[in-house]
Amino acid sequence: MQHREVIASPEDWRKVTDEIVRILVDAQYEITHRQIMEQMKLDNLDKTESDHDILAAALKLTS
């Protein structure tokens, strides 16, 4: 029989994995948010007259 040293429990590995995933998702969110903000053209926002216009502009920006 080989002696196998346990570095971490399955629960420890799950916690580490969850933290890594959270960091990656947060980073992707920040990148996407920055890209969307860079694409927005603020000069077109003054042409919005109603809530419908604002929603249409938001859909256009995120499509």
Give pLDDT, residue 15.
97
Q: What is the mean pLDDT of the chain?
A: 82
Helices (H) and strands (E) in the chain — how many of each? 3, 0
Q: What is the DSSP letter of 42?
A: H
pLDDT of 41 higher than 80: no
Give pLDDT, residue 35.
84
Model confidence pTM above 0.85: no
Distance CA 35, CA 55 (A): 19
Q: What is the pLDDT of residues 3-31, one digit of tens each?
A: 667 789 999 999 999 999 999 999 999 99
Give pLDDT, residue 42.
60
Distance CA 13, CA 9 (A): 6
Distance CA 11, CA 18 (A): 10
Distance CA 42, CA 37 (A): 10
The type of residue at 34 is R
